[in-house]
Amino acid sequence: MKKIKLAEGIHMLSMNVEDMLFEGMWEIANGVTLNSYIVKGDKTAIIDGVIGWDGVPETLYKNLEEIHLSPKDIDYLIVNHMEPDHSGWIENFEKINDDFTILCTEKAAKLVTSFYGDNNRIKIVKEGDVLDLGNGKKLSFHPVPNVHWPDTMLTYESSTKTLFSCDMYGAFGKMGEHHFDDETTSEEVEFFEKEGIRYYSNVMTTFTPMVRKAIEKSKEFNINTIAPGHGPLYRKNPHKIMDDYLRFSQYAEGAGKNEITILWGSMYGMTAKAIAFVENVLAREGIKVNKLEMPLESESEMVATAIKSAGIIIAAPTYEYKMFPPVATAIDELGRKKVTGKVAFYFGSYGWSGGAEKELKEIIERNRMKWDFIESVEFEGSPRQKDLEKIEAGILELVDKIKNKILE
């Protein structure tokens, strides 16, 4: 855990975590950083206290002591969001400090009780409520429901113009030496662009309309620094991450980079025979290609890659009268995440009968994905020259259609 001073009386405690599944399901290839913040006036508050993934808070207590704070000195625990990556230490903390107040939204208060038992320390805060810590430090509270849980709020410190944004404006990816946007190298900027999209797509996409409202709410503050619960802090240009989040939200509704993702699977190599041909066509057209072979690709990478692509090619055979299950499952996951409005093209092989395209339509319909499909190509067995010609025509139509969707 690192300790970094942000301003007089404000410290960040930051911890890298890896080799875990976020929310118990998302493999995060490059780890994640958990940030919590101490704000000290005459009274002291901790915002989103983080602990090791094993639930042991001793590391946090040791680090508090190194900035000359005992856990008993903490007067207020600000719970911006109850997900246990931010709040998992409450139960333990109560064993060593019996005199503190939890400030959170009404929705979070219910979760505190349901997760950790009855609690008489809670003070519910509403939009605009202010906590005066003394010595010039004032915190105000601003609910942003469903980003991504219903309990979430932003906390703003007025003397330093710092917005503690919790999951909002967060990114996956471990941080090294550089924690602020004015320190990061161009490679790190690129890394956090990718990890920001991965985070948005894995955690936030389903709640895109509410994220947009939270962006609008953020714009109401005079901000010097955005301090999220995960990933880098923004003090050189806080508006950049707001613009990035707006762009990610547009990816969730059909826009994308000038890239096409081939989401594919093959049982015995018949559908796969067309993939190399497709790659050559896209290379000739100057389009960056992402290949996701299911079920080999992680769900985290699949959702992150698909969402940022302006076009999607689905290539999968029929399996037992339906779509090859690993690819069908991937599309259904994109539907559950409410990835809408993509331009797409399907092709695939069948043996004794088709059925994959029919199931694909059902998945798109059931999840109300509103994807715009080029006419599909289904072929018997191995693709013949005439099939490849139809596939090429489909791809060229797709390449033309994504021109209106590109947003870098």
Contact footprint for ligand FEO (CB under 6 A): 81, 83, 85-86, 148, 167, 229-230
Kindly tell me which of 229 and 383 has the beta carbon lying closer to ligand FEO: 229
Of 27, 47, 33, the C-alpha closest to 177 is 33
From the CB of 154, what's the least distance to ligand FEO, in Å?
13
Which residues have C-beta within 8 Å of that of residue 237, sequence separation ≥ 6?
Answer: 181
From the CB of 83, what's the least distance to ligand FEO, in Å?
4
From the CB of 85, what's the least distance to ligand FEO, in Å?
5
The whole-angstrom separation of Cα 120 and Cα 117 is 10
Kindly tell me which of 300 and 309 has the beta carbon lying closer to ligand FEO: 300
DSSP codes joined into one string, 226-295: EEESSS-BBSS-HHHHHHHHHHHHHHTTT-BEEEEEEEE--SSSHHHHHHHHHHHHHHHTT-EEEEEETT
Residue number of the CB closest to ligand FEO reads: 83
The whole-angstrom separation of Cα 395 and Cα 404 is 15
In 25-79, the DSSP E strands lie at 26-27, 32-40, 44-47, 76-78
The whole-angstrom separation of Cα 289 and Cα 259 is 6
Kindly tell me which of 108 and 292 has the beta carbon lying closer to ligand FEO: 108
From the CB of 51, what's the least distance to ligand FEO, in Å?
13
Kindly tell me which of 81 and 308 has the beta carbon lying closer to ligand FEO: 81
Which residues have C-beta within 8 Å of that of residue 127, sequence separation ≥ 6?
Answer: 141, 142, 143
From the CB of 353, what's the least distance to ligand FEO, in Å?
45
From the CB of 292, what's the least distance to ligand FEO, in Å?
25
Kindly tell me which of 81 and 342 has the beta carbon lying closer to ligand FEO: 81
DSSP summary character for residue 72 = G
Is there a contact between 228 and 165 (Cβ–Cβ < 8 Å)? yes
Kindly tell me which of 80 and 225 has the beta carbon lying closer to ligand FEO: 80
From the CB of 199, what's the least distance to ligand FEO, in Å?
9
Kindly tell me which of 50 and 139 has the beta carbon lying closer to ligand FEO: 50
From the CB of 64, what's the least distance to ligand FEO, in Å?
20
Is there a contact between 33 and 230 (Cβ–Cβ < 8 Å)? yes
Report the C-alpha dihedral over residues 257, 259, 260, 266, rounded to 10 degrees.
-120
> Exposure string (b/e) for 140-179, b if CB count within 10 Å is 16 or more?
bbbbbbbbbbbbbbbbbbebbebbbbbbbbbbbbbbeeeb
Kindly tell me which of 11 and 148 has the beta carbon lying closer to ligand FEO: 148
